[in-house]
A and B are shown apart, each in its own frame.
Chain A
């Protein structure tokens, strides 16, 4: 029970720290703009109202295991996206001077920033409470976590923020961009959200694009056919493929920071022609460039956050598949290893890499097998002839699979699945095998011979 309560505390603390970071940015914006100082308090109230409202709504209406989670997560992600993508439209805009309008605006921003997260957190805490049959305990732990996070915010705001020179850094658009970027990068709550916005966007775009291209082909009466070659099928397949979807995702994700940064850099240099003193000219230009640099910091930070996010999404969508080697042994007279082509773990037609280990005395021979796109099952040692990691890095020996192809775990060279079984280069060292409808047959002496040859290369030091 203690562990679960601690987990509830940590989840709330983590969310509270994220919230604090957002509030800090807002606070720093208002601190840097003394003319709009009155907005800080309104922003604080807006955030507090959104937190309380979101928390109450999440606690009351969100069943921790219920089906509305997807919809709630969708609206949470949409609110982050709205903030992020609305930032280019706020270029050159300032907060409204009238307090009523400002209040509405800040409450709206607070709503977008905190409402859904607070709801999700309340629902997770409620779930913990139900599981422990200690609702009060879970809520108290959560509340403690929240307060701890906010205390850190308070300390930072009181002692550190005043020492930071944030003048000239913030504009309304760069603030909103930063808030949206942090929201997108934090990707909601792991305990609640299925996957983050970038992954959702890329998967959605991939599917949408592929369907759209098929629709265009059908519209132009050149729909793909099982065996008739249709015109422009290669182009259409490229346009509807995941590369274009990825490129579109990148274009969409990077549009706000790049656009705002571009507009910033496009500001004309100050006119210095009339300044007669060279030092004064240089000073004017230097100040101008420093100003551009300072204003560019939030955009660069948002850009960097998005790069990390896209990279993480890419890794998540194309994870390295590196199965643990399965122990295999030979038949009674130690001549043939027989591996079923289909077993409880699936069959070879899924084109996923399989790894096996054969113990030859006290030596361990790790090899892999994969069905190539042409249907042939290829077998090879889980090592190559070219490079080998140092002894402290033995885990990097061999290959993993990303998508259809293999990747060397040491030098990250991609190996086409078509060429597995062919010798040379960075390919895994192949050896012969046979297959029938049911089994893959590997001659033990062939396997050992190939492995011995590979060890000779290693001993001769011809590895890099």
Chain B
């Protein structure tokens, strides 16, 4: 922070203000604090996240904060990369500005070769320029941080795009049916609903769950298979299954004509859920009817037959009166209705969202960045710089992180350096070949 302030000396005040806005944790925290306080003041109550997110995405203040945040992330990453890649300057002030430096009397004999050899033994590849030189390790160690920052930046952009440009549509289709999704026809070719044969409902908490629903769809780009898991991409659209249910045909018992058969899509899953449908002109409330009550040891619950479901039909106009119980393929108790074979329907959701691919990519980058960030515990920039002064040699050392250990390592090096520079022809191998030379961390 201090260095960056120094860097800005002589800048135009406006430029300095802009640089300050775009970088520095203080700005970021101030921004978030203002956002938090504003949201608290504006939306005290429920939906804390929803209101906060809407505030960030839709209000000018929120968008400004997002912009500041994006600039902050961008410039922070840029500065991290520049700092890591930066080559040292061969000035006494630069060397002394490093974490630690030491001055040694210049020997009469040539010394650069001995120093280079010693650095090589320590695992550094020296770059010489006459009687000065440097060696830097971990010049690419900014990559984890930049990956993470880029991921966050992409996520912000993806969120913004997704919030403002997402379009979605839903339709309920039975096998062989065609519906319109986002203006294009989509046909459900086949539905494989791998429903359980039976379901035992114990207690009030719903424990019904389905796995393995697969829909074979056909849209303008060709066939595709959609499962209940991750959405499937076709062109610019994503398809997902958001529900399944029974497509039940009911027949009027006294009428044999085909026109008296009615097929209705029943949304009665999980067992216990009620749906209202129009059946032969009447609004009827339908729910799954348990086949029996089962006791298993100390537990007891209602057993629902899912493969051959039975329904409880209640006429809503005559409140609370059970009109009939209609097991599939059997007549109801009153003889007025008859259930026929059970089929299934699926609720298909189509989404067009240009931001989603960015969000997927950004989450991958953030994950990778976080994992890579762990490598920064041992992979970070370390630089050794030496120059020749009037009648002395100045050696400086800096580590990007874990500076304490770096400084203490340099304390140990100082004794070795003194010996090397006193007698440049002799390199004390037993001391120089320390743990660092073997690539070990202290």
Contacts and interface: CB of A to CB of B under 8 A. Distances in A.
Interface in A143-192: none
B162 A375 contact: no
Nearest to B166: A219
A429 to B, nearest CB: 16
B209 A227 contact: yes
Interface string B111-149: 000000000000000000000000000000000000000
Given A220-B359, A221-B351, A225-B242, A231 B230 contact: yes
Contacts of B238: 221
Contacts of B13: none
A227 B269 contact: yes
A266 interface: yes
Contact of B270 (A85, A227, A266): A227
Given A221-B349, A266-B403, A267-B404, A228 B414 contact: no
Given A215-B49, A219-B356, A219-B359, A229 B208 contact: no
Contacts of A225: 242-243
A268 B404 contact: yes
A376 B299 contact: yes
B164 interface: no
B231 interface: yes
B44 A70 contact: yes
Given A271-B411, A273-B411, A74 B298 contact: no
A412 interface: no
Contact of B202 (A231, A349, A374): A374
A230 interface: yes
Contacts of B243: 225, 228
B191 interface: no
Contact of A212 (B49, B241, B269, B301): B49
Contacts of B241: 228
A305 B409 CA distance: 36
Interface string B398-440: 0000111001100110110000000000000000000000000
A229 B209 contact: yes
A235 to B, nearest CB: 12
Interface in B286-311: 298-299, 301
A332 interface: no
Interface string B208-247: 1111010000000000000011110000001011111000
B44 A421 contact: no
B208 A375 contact: no
B50 A211 contact: yes
- Main secondary structure on B side of the interface with A: mixed
B52 interface: yes
B228 A211 contact: no
Contacts of A376: 202-203, 298-299
A227 B203 contact: no
Contacts of A221: 230-231, 238, 240, 349, 351, 356
B83 interface: no
Interface residues of A, number: 39
Nearest to B360: A220
B86 interface: no
Interface in B320-376: 349, 351, 356, 359-360
Interface in B2-44: 25-26, 29, 33, 37, 40-41, 44
B64 interface: no
B48 A228 contact: no
B297 to A, nearest CB: 10
B270 A231 contact: no
Interface string B258-290: 000000000001100100000000000000000
Given A208-B52, A211-B48, A228-B210, A74 B40 contact: yes
Contacts of A273: 411-412, 414-415
Given A207-B49, A349-B204, 5 more contacts: A71-B41, A89-B25, A211-B49, A222-B240, A225-B242
22 contacts: A74-B40, A89-B25, A208-B48, A211-B49, A220-B230, A222-B230, A225-B243, A226-B269, A227-B209, A228-B228, A228-B242, A230-B228, A267-B404, A268-B404, A374-B299, A375-B202, A375-B203, A375-B205, A376-B202, A376-B203, A376-B299, A421-B298
